[in-house]
C-alpha cells in the first residue's frame, strides 16, 4: 500500500484497475494478523453484486476516485471462488497470490476478515492476534450480522411508436336512379262535321317528332366523415421481480465440557 489505510476506510470504495476501468465495490477487507494492515479486499461483481472476487492490495493506492489496484479487471473476474464470509486460510492466500502471479509477502501467517458495513471490525485469527477495530467503539466481543436487501425501482423505456396514416381505397358502388324517356305513339282522332279550317288536299307529306330520354349523370364530391387522432393512456400492471440475496447467521458454540448448542 502507498500509505497506511484503515480497513473501514475501504468499505464500499470503488476499485479501479490500472486502465481506470471500474472493477466493482469493496465488500470485505482482509487484514494481516500482525500488522492489521489491509492485505486483500473482495469486490462485489455480477448482477445485484452477488459475486465477490478477491483482489490483492499489494502496490495499491487510494485517492478520491477509489482504490487503484495493480491487477486487470478481466483477471479479477477469473479469480478462484473462495468463500468471502470467514477467515482466509494460509492455503487460500497462497492460491490467490499464485493465481495473480505475485509472491506471497508473508508465509505461515493468516489474515482476518473484516465484515462489510458501517461498523467494520475483524474477527480474531487462529494465531491469537488482536482483533481489528473499525468505526465507533464496538467491543471485541461484538459481532455485526448483515444481510442483503433488494432495492427495486422502475425506469421508463421506449417500447414502440404509433402513427396515423391515411391512404385511398377504391370500391364499387351501385345506385338505382329512375330515368324516363319518350316513345312515339300513333294517335287517331275521327273528324266529324265540317271544319272550314281543314283542307282536304290529296298528296304526300311528312312530319318529324323529336324524342327525349333521361340518362344518369354521376358527379363526385369529397365530404368530411370523422376526425381521428392518437391518444395515450397509462396502464399500470404488476410484475414480479426475483433475485437472490444473502444474509448472515450467527451461531454460538459452547465448550464440549458444557455441551454444544448452536444459537441463531
**Residues 112 and 131 sit within 8 Å (Cβ to Cβ):** yes
pLDDT given at position 109? 44
Q: Give the residue carrying C-alpha cell 363526385.
A: 220
Q: pLDDT tier at 45 (50, 70, 90 boundaries)? A: low
Max mean pLDDT among 96-110, 125-139, 150-164 falls in 150-164
pLDDT given at position 256? 57
Max mean pLDDT among 105-119, 133-147, 172-186, 197-211 falls in 172-186
How far is Cα 67 from Cα 60, in angstroms, rounded to an integer?
A: 7
Average the pLDDT over 45-64 and give the result: 76
Whether the predicted model's global pTM rises above the 0.75 cut: no
pLDDT given at position 213? 94
Q: Comparing 33-47, 109-123, 147-161, 208-222, which segment has the lowest mean pLDDT?
A: 109-123
Q: pLDDT tier at 105 (50, 70, 90 boundaries)? A: low
Secondary structure class of 92 (helix, strand, coil): helix
Where is pLDDT greater, at 142 or 59? 59
DSSP string, 169-186: ------------B-----
Average the pLDDT over 110-131 and give the result: 34
Q: Is residue 7 scored above 50 in pLDDT?
A: yes
CA-to-CA separations, 202 to 189, 193, 205, in angstroms, rounded? 19, 19, 10
How buried is 171 (Cβ within 10 angstroms: 0-12 exposed, 13-18 middle, 19+ buried)?
A: exposed
Backbone angles phi, psi at 74, to 5 degrees: -65, -35
Averaged confidence pLDDT in the chain: 76
pLDDT given at position 223? 92
The ranges assigned to domains in the chain are: 7-153+244-254
pLDDT given at position 85? 63
Among 68, 43, 39, 72, which residue's Cα sits nearest to residue 56? 39
Among 113, 1, 120, 7, which residue's Cα sits nearest to residue 57? 1
What cell does 51 get?
459475486
pLDDT given at position 132? 37
Residues in the chain: 264
Secondary structure class of 96 (helix, strand, coil): helix
pLDDT given at position 214? 92
Average the pLDDT over 27-34 and give the result: 81
**Residues 127 and 36 sit within 8 Å (Cβ to Cβ):** no
Which positions ≥6 away from 65 have C-beta within 8 Å? 14, 16
Q: Is residue 87 scored above 90 in pLDDT?
A: no
Extract the runs of DSSP E, i.e. beta strands, from 4-132. Answer: 14-16, 22-32, 38-45, 51-56, 61-63, 66-68, 111-114
Which positions ≥6 away from 23 have C-beta within 8 Å? 15, 16, 17, 43, 45, 55, 69, 73, 76
Average the pLDDT over 215-223 and give the result: 91
Average the pLDDT over 217-237 and give the result: 90
Average the pLDDT over 44-55 and give the result: 69
pLDDT given at position 10? 84
**Residues 116 and 12 sit within 8 Å (Cβ to Cβ):** yes
Please work out, in degrees rounded to the nearest 5, the angle formed at the alpha carbon of residue 33 by the alpha carbons of 31 and 37.
40
pLDDT given at position 119? 34
Task: Name the class of domain 7-153+244-254.
Answer: alpha beta
Amino acid at each position: 500500500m502507498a500509505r497506511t489505510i484503515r480497513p473501514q476506510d475501504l468499505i464500499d470504495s470503488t476499485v479501479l484497475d490500472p486502465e481506470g476501468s471500474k472493477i466493482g465495490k469493496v465488500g470485505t477487507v482482509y487484514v494481516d494478523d500482525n500488522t492489521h494492515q489491509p492485505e486483500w479486499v473482495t469486490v462485489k461483481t455480477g448482477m445485484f453484486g452477488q459475486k465477490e472476487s478477491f483482489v490483492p492490495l499489494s502496490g495499491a493506492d487510494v485517492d478520491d476516485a477509489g482504490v487503484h489496484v495493480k491487477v486487470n479487471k478481466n483477471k479479477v473476474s477469473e479469480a478462484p471462488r473462495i468463500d468471502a464470509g470467514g477467515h482466509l486460510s494460509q492455503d487460500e492466500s497462497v492460491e490467490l497470490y499464485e493465481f495473480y502471479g505475485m509472491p506471497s509477502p508473508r508465509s505461515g501467517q493468516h489474515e482476518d476478515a473484516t465484515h462489510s458495513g458501517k461498523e467494520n471490525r475483524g474477527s480474531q485469527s487462529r494465531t491469537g492476534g488482536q482483533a481489528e477495530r473499525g468505526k465507533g467503539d464496538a467491543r471485541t466481543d461484538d459481532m455485526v450480522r448483515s444481510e442483503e436487501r433488494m432495492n427495486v425501482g422502475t425506469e421508463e423505456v421506449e417500447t414502440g411508436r404509433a402513427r396515423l396514416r391515411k391512404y385511398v381505397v377504391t370500391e364499387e358502388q351501385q345506385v338505382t336512379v329512375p330515368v324516363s324517356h319518350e316513345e312515339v305513339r300513333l294517335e287517331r282522332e275521327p273528324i266529324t262535321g265540317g271544319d272550314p279550317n281543314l283542307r282536304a288536299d290529296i298528296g304526300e307529306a311528312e312530319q318529324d317528332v323529336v324524342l327525349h330520354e333521361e340518362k344518369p349523370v354521376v358527379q363526385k364530391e369529397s365530404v368530411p366523415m370523422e376526425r381521428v387522432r392518437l391518444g395515450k393512456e397509462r396502464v399500470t400492471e404488476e410484475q414480479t421481480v426475483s433475485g437472490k440475496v444473502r444474509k448472515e447467521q450467527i451461531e454460538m458454540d459452547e465448550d464440549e465440557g458444557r455441551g454444544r448448542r448452536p444459537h441463531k
